[in-house]
Amino acid sequence: MSGAADRGRGIWRSLHRDQRLAGGAAIALFVSMLLPWYRVTTIGGSRAGEQSTLSALAKFDFTEAAILIVACAVIALIVGRGEGGTFSLPGRDGTFVFAGGVWCCLLMFFRVVSEPDTETATYGIAWGFFVAFVAALLMAVAGWRMRQDQPAGPPLLRDEEPETAVAPPPSPPARRAPAIDDTAPTLFDDLPDEDEEPPTRPLRPGEIPPAR
């Protein structure tokens, strides 16, 4: 029991003001469904004029079911955020809470104007219904304030790995022509030059050089 209480206190401390307001309003809306929502007045018969009350769960249909689902969903959202949950919702958390509060207010308004009387009884609104309406209205206000303060959340998309660009294979190195060494001896280096005079033999003493 103490562990659950410590967990609840830790969640409450981790929430900011608007989240606390949204969570408190959702809890109040949930609890209000146990309170008397409808006043039933019997007409005709021996019990004519008798009055009784019904809770939202005692007269449970689509309207009450939708309100209960919204209250539970907002409570789950706030508890998840308080525990550090990083799940994503369409748009923002405030948008979800605001839409839920407005939807509950519209459902309750529809219930007031569409509640049919029967041949044996008439139905009116009891004080628990007004508690639920105020809780739904506070939920919408909290959602609007959360929507103004919080940045937009990421869209609900499947986590995809970023595409990595495939680098093209390296091109082979260009072949370079072998360098020609001008100083290397060639086959024609041993041939005498046509313009070059043949080497002269040294003259002997008394020898006359030949005429050219």
pLDDT tens-digit series, residues 11-30: 778 888 888 999 999 999 99
Within 10 A of 161 (CB to CB), how many other CB atoms are there?
5
**What does the mean pLDDT of the chain come to?**
78
User: From CA 111, how far away is CA 123, in angstroms rounded?
Assistant: 11
153, pLDDT greater than 60: no
Q: How far apart are CA 150 and CA 9, in angstroms?
A: 23
Entry pTM:
0.64
Among the ranges 22-31, 79-88, 144-153, which has the highest mean pLDDT value?
A: 22-31
Sign of the alpha-carbon torsion through 86, 91, 94, 96: negative
Give the pLDDT confidence score for residue 160 in this predicted structure: 45
pLDDT band at residue 155 under the 50/70/90 scheme: very low
Please determine, for residue 189, whether its predicted confidence score (pLDDT) is greater than 60.
Answer: no
The predicted-structure confidence for 58-77, as pLDDT tens digits, reads as follows: 888 888 999 999 999 999 98
- List all residues 6 or more positions away from 133 whose beta carbon is below 8 Å from its beta carbon: 105, 108
